[in-house]
Chains A and B, each alone.
Chain A
Amino acid sequence: MRSLAFILIFTGVVVFSSNNANAQCKNFAKRVCRLELSPFIHDGNYNAAILTEGEDAELFKTFYAGQEYRIAVCGSESLPKVEFKVMDVERRVLFTNASKDYVPFWDFKVEATQQLIIMVKVLDNPGGSDPDMLASGCVAIMFGLKAN
């Protein structure tokens, strides 16, 4: 009986903490990261995940000729700096915010329609408040469109 109760509680706690983290991530994306897109209009898509120090994620998206875009990449306060790179399909780096003091957004337009890869990485922070612990938190990647 104890084993069954343990499994039930464990599953419940995992589901609860995962839902709670997702809810926090949703609020962070809506209330913090979306504001970074202004004066561009957010495209409405939601791309966010919980990442830990040293972890990275990639996003594939097609960008259309003539449209001006803003990419905003935001990490929650609990995280160290978040680096983002924009690469072409051959993974040649076209932009990195590491050379711009980790600015959280970048504006650009494409002459011809292109599929690009956005790579985000939470930097290691061995000098953090607790050197034995890895910080984790929400990272959101959002896209803004300049109105016609």
Chain B
Amino acid sequence: MSKRVLADNIKWLIGSTLILFLLGCSSESSRKDRIEVDASEISSQELAKEGIQTARQIFYSLPSPLETAMILKRSGAQYNEELLNPVDNASKYTTNKSMALNLGIYSTDLSYASLFDQTQASIKYMAVSKRMAEGLGILNAIDNTIVQRLEENVNNREAIMDIISESLLNTSSILEEDDRVAIGSVILVGGWIEGLYIATSLVDDVKQADNELVDRIIDQKLSLSTVVNLLEQHKDNSDVNEVLGDIKALAAVYEKIQISFSGVEAVEQEGQTTVLRSKNVVSVNPTVFNELRNKVASIRTKYIM
């Protein structure tokens, strides 16, 4: 290639890069780009509307490990360290799927231990969560300063919760930034299954009236549809597809539990938090509850290996 041709190509490359860079940096798009449809073209307008609705961004938000742990505590759950996934298991997790599932599982264990002021367990589970995050290549999600702050605040529960929340946000936002949302959904499902496992393991008597823990376990039927929708969005990923199979098997058990809903009414009171009034009527028999408990345990056993 002659020097002149090479120089021309370099100039052309620099020129196109600059133009595209400037186009890429623009945060505005032209108002004129919008399709304007007059009243006589109503069918086209409807089609355009349908297009907009299809393109609308949809988010499915699962309870985070921190929310799961708070729900457990609020429902009267007790702390039982034997239910947690032992940190020694961490060396078994070498694939992306197992690390993602167990990052979620360990994050729920960490949140659960922290809410019950289990300082040594909290430090241990933060360290193992860091190890899983690093294994997934999310190097800065849980850095040394987070671990250090946790150690310095072992007696301040609110500060610890804030630190856990920050590490969860780092993990999910880095995955989103790196276009690895699918793996983020597997982490969330791991955390959700662990919460369900702890809750179902702590129920002694399903027939006991007003058992809030049982109510919250049944309520997970509502989150289950969110879990399925979240995973369906990424089912072309083989790891997600495998997890989706497990969740559908769990959904088949939840189908045997009936929940009926009344309408929701927002009641606003001066100077007080708005209450959304409604009533759920739930029907579950002990056989189905035990089936649910066994199904959750078998999925969780498969995940922790």
Interface status of B249 (Cβ within 8 A of chain A):
no
A:1-30 near B, CB below 8 Å = 1-2, 5-6, 9-10, 13-14, 16-17, 19, 22-23, 26, 29-30
Q: A6-B16, A66-B74, A137-B27 known; A88 and B264 CB under 8 Å? A: yes
Tell me the smallest distance from the CB of A39 to a CB of chain B, in Å: 9
A41 contacts B158, C-beta separation under 8 Å: yes
A13 contacts B161, C-beta separation under 8 Å: no
Q: Which of B62, B226, B276 contacts A110 (CB 8 A)?
A: B276
Q: Which of A46, A51, A135 contacts B172 (CB 8 A)?
A: A46
Q: Which of B12, B176, B223 contacts A2 (CB 8 A)?
A: B12
B20 contacts A9, C-beta separation under 8 Å: yes
Tell me the smallest distance from the CB of B215 to a CB of chain A, in Å: 7
B56 contacts A44, C-beta separation under 8 Å: no
B216 contacts A41, C-beta separation under 8 Å: no
Q: What is the CA–CA distance of A66 and B74 in the complex, to the nearest angstrom?
A: 8
Q: A30-B173, A59-B61 known; A136 and B161 CB under 8 Å? A: no
Contact with A along B257-287 (1 / 0, CB 8 A): 0000111101000000111111110000000
Q: What is the CA–CA distance of A144 and B229 in the complex, to the nearest angstrom?
A: 23
B28 contacts A30, C-beta separation under 8 Å: no
B169 contacts A60, C-beta separation under 8 Å: no
Q: A46-B173, A136-B29 known; A94 and B59 CB under 8 Å? A: no
Number of interface residues of A (CB under 8 A): 74
Q: What is the CA–CA distance of A43 and B63 in the complex, to the nearest angstrom?
A: 8
Using Cβ atoms and an 8 Å threshold, which residues of chain A touch B219? 62, 64-65, 113
A16 contacts B169, C-beta separation under 8 Å: no
Q: What is the CA–CA distance of A125 and B57 in the complex, to the nearest angstrom?
A: 21
Q: Which of A23, A57, A95, A131 contacts B59 (CB 8 A)?
A: A57
Q: A9-B20, A134-B28 known; A108 and B275 CB under 8 Å? A: yes
Q: What is the CA–CA distance of A61 and B24 in the complex, to the nearest angstrom?
A: 33
A134 contacts B29, C-beta separation under 8 Å: yes
Tell me the smallest distance from the CB of A90 to a CB of chain B, in Å: 8
Using Cβ atoms and an 8 Å threshold, which residues of chain B touch A137? 27
B24 contacts A47, C-beta separation under 8 Å: no
Interface of A is mostly: mixed
A9 contacts B13, C-beta separation under 8 Å: yes
A:47-70 near B, CB below 8 Å = 47-49, 51-52, 54-68
A:86-136 near B, CB below 8 Å = 88, 90, 92, 94-95, 106-116, 126, 130-136
Q: What is the CA–CA distance of A49 and B13 in the complex, to the nearest angstrom?
A: 31
B27 contacts A44, C-beta separation under 8 Å: no
Contact with A along B223-249 (1 / 0, CB 8 A): 101100100000000000000000000
Using Cβ atoms and an 8 Å threshold, which residues of chain A touch B177? 19, 22-23, 26
B169 contacts A30, C-beta separation under 8 Å: yes
B70 contacts A95, C-beta separation under 8 Å: no
Tell me the smallest distance from the CB of B139 to a CB of chain A, in Å: 15
B:141-168 near A, CB below 8 Å = 157-158, 161-162, 164-168
Beyond contacts A26-B177, A45-B168, A114-B222: 4 other A-B pairs, Cβ-Cβ < 8 A, are A44-B164, A108-B273, A112-B278, A114-B276
Closest 10 CB pairs of A and B: A44-B168, A17-B24, A133-B28, A113-B219, A46-B172, A57-B57, A59-B59, A61-B61, A13-B20, A26-B173
- Chain A residues in the interface with B (C-beta under 8 A): 1-2, 5-6, 9-10, 13-14, 16-17, 19, 22-23, 26, 29-30, 34, 41-49, 51-52, 54-68, 78, 88, 90, 92, 94-95, 106-116, 126, 130-137, 141, 143, 145, 147-148
9 contacts between A and B (CB under 8 A): A9-B20, A49-B57, A57-B57, A62-B219, A66-B74, A126-B31, A132-B32, A133-B30, A145-B67
